[in-house]
């Protein structure tokens, strides 16, 4: 199993929206590296849900329930989506500030490639962020 982090502006599609919907496809990715990360996601992979712009915090855990397929919001076949569904809301959001202060998380893509919307995490990084939110 792989571990990931996806970013969404909460005013566009928030964690609460995902909870309300129960499932969604992760669309709108127009960056090749993020697209390649979507293509590498496998059913059952766990995904941290991060609110960008407003909040700047990890708020929940979701999982991949359908592997990549053509993005239904475009006819351009270069772009794909995956389906995710919520697993668990973190008891306490984990802020970007807290992540940056933790020496064990200094190499996460959230810090190193802050504009990337879909990024891999090592299991130990994923587990640490989840632990920080409990």
How would residue 9 be classed by pLDDT, with cut points 50, 70 and 90? Answer: very high
Domain range for 22 is 3-129
pLDDT tens track for 92-128:
999 999 999 999 999 999 999 989 999 999 999 999 9
Domain of 79, CATH number, reads 3.10.590.10
Say if 134 falls within a structural domain: no
* SS percent in the chain: helix, strand, coil, step 5: 30, 35, 35
Does a structural domain hold residue 32?
A: yes
At 18 the pLDDT is: 98
Report d(CA 122, CA 101) in Å as an integer.
18
Q: pLDDT tier at 85 (50, 70, 90 boundaries)?
A: very high
- When pLDDT is cut at 50, 70 and 90, the band that residue 30 belongs to is very high
- Residue 122 is encoded by which pair of tokens? 């090592």
Whole-number average pLDDT of the chain: 97
Whether residue 43 is contained in a domain is answered as yes
Q: Please report the pLDDT score of residue 64 as a whole number.
A: 98
Q: What is the pTM of this model?
A: 0.96
């Amino acid at each position: 199993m792989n571990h990931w982090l996806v970013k969404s502006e909460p005013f566009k599609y928030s964690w609460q929206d995902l909870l309300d919907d129960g499932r969604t496809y992760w669309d709108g990715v127009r960056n090749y590296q993020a697209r390649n990360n979507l293509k590498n996601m496998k059913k059952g992979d766990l995904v941290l849900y991060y609110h960008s712009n407003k909040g700047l915090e990890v708020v929940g855990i979701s999982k991949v329930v359908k592997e990549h397929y053509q993005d239904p919001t475009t006819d351009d076949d270069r772009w794909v989506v995956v389906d995710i569904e919520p697993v668990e809301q973190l008891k306490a959001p984990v802020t970007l500030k807290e992540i940056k202060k933790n020496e064990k998380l200094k190499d996460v893509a959230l810090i190193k490639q802050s504009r990337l919307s879909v990024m891999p995490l090592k299991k130990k990084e994923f587990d640490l962020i989840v632990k920080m939110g409990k």
